[in-house]
Amino acid sequence: GAPSHTTAVVAAVLLLLFLGVAALVYSRCHLNIKLWYKNSYGDYELGDGKLHDAYVSYVNNDQDRKFVHFILKPYLENKNAYKVHLNDNDILPGGEPSAELLMNMSRSRRLIVLLSHAYLEQDWCTSNFRQGLLHLLELCQRPAIVIVLEGQAKRMRPDVKRLMDEHQHRLTVLTWRHNSVIPSSVFWKELALAMPRRVVYPNQSAGDPQTTLQDDKDPMLTLNPDYLDCNSDTDPAGDLGLRLPVYKALACRAPVLPAVPIGAAEPKPSDIDVSDLGSRNYGARTDFYRLVTEADV
């Protein structure tokens, strides 16, 4: 009879099913997998003489300033303990890098640019964006991080989009969307991948290292203080009796002193003479309050 191909067909179907599930899981969790690998086996960028983890360039208008100070900076500094340097000035005056940019870029590990419409209205962006972008890329040892707002990305100039596509291997373009405010959103995961590996010190739950070194006994900064009832009850079911031997000491009675008869109390002579109380004049004296006498008048 003809050979049966049932086993081969079943194996092929199972293999295709496994590959499909693996592809689905990777498409949904690839950022989490990359973050786990980076936080576990990534290289630390320490000992390079840098003072800041990120140098943030933005324009000082209401929208950009609120985004940087109330969204981006708290996430980087408070949640991930990064050191951030902010600059709202023109970093390429006249199309050339400023002294402030050269100094701070040499001290920073990453460059973050909030590329908004107001940012693109600067002189170096309107006159020669290509040359300015090349200057920035020359100063960056790692790919520059460019943040684009969702509403403004669709109306960006065609030449800016084309240049960013040409240098996409040296740029990390992140789009801020309406749902990016969620801490587990794609935006924050991609930003974490573009930033240096976060340094996690052991025993962070023990409190502030400065407080620990100073041996501060403040109860608000001390875990499980001795005078608080932080231990579990040794007898949760109630007192079931004495478990340790109790030694009763002999009662020691105080000696009884003989009672002293209380006689009639003799009046003690008073040291104050009160015989002339009736002849004393208690009227208020007014001569002390006279500043001018009648004779003077």
| pLDDT exceeds 90 at position 176 | yes
Measured CA to CA in angstroms, residue 3 lies from 6, 7, 159 at distances of: 9, 11, 64
Which of 83 and 248 is assigned the larger pLDDT?
83
- pLDDT of residue 3 exceeding 60, the answer is no
pLDDT at position 94 is 74
> What's the mean pLDDT when you consider all of the chain?
77
Confidence (pLDDT) at 243: 52
Average pLDDT over residues 172-185: 91
The number of angstroms, rounded, from the C-alpha of 283 to the middle of its chain's C-alpha atoms is 76
Q: 108, 111, 113, 114: which is closest to 53 by C-alpha?
A: 108
Structure confidence at residue 73 as a pLDDT band (50, 70, 90) = very high
Query: Percentage of the chain surpassing pLDDT 90?
Result: 27
* Contact present, 92 and 111 (Cβ < 8 Å): no
User: According to the model, what pLDDT value does residue 97 have?
Assistant: 83
- Dist CA 58 CA 117 (whole Å): 11
User: What is the per-residue pLDDT for 88?
Assistant: 86
Q: Are 171 and 144 in contact (CB under 8 A)?
A: yes
First to last CA, the chain: 154
127, two tokens: 């006159």
Question: At 201, is the pLDDT very low, low, confident or very high (cuts 50, 70, 90)?
Answer: low
Q: What is the pLDDT of residue 47?
A: 81
Q: What is the mean pLDDT of residues 41-50?
A: 85
For the chain, domains (ranges, CATH) are 50-188 (3.40.50.10140)
CA atoms within 13 A on the CB side of 55: 23
pTM of structure: 0.62
Q: Where are the beta strands (DSSP E) in 59-201?
A: 84-87, 111-114, 144-149, 171-176
CA distance 162 to 95: 20
3-state secondary structure at position 114: strand
Q: Is the pLDDT of residue 86 over 90?
A: yes
pLDDT by residue (tens digit) across 225-275? 444 454 555 555 555 554 555 455 555 565 666 666 665 555 555 556 656
What pLDDT is attached to residue 122? 87
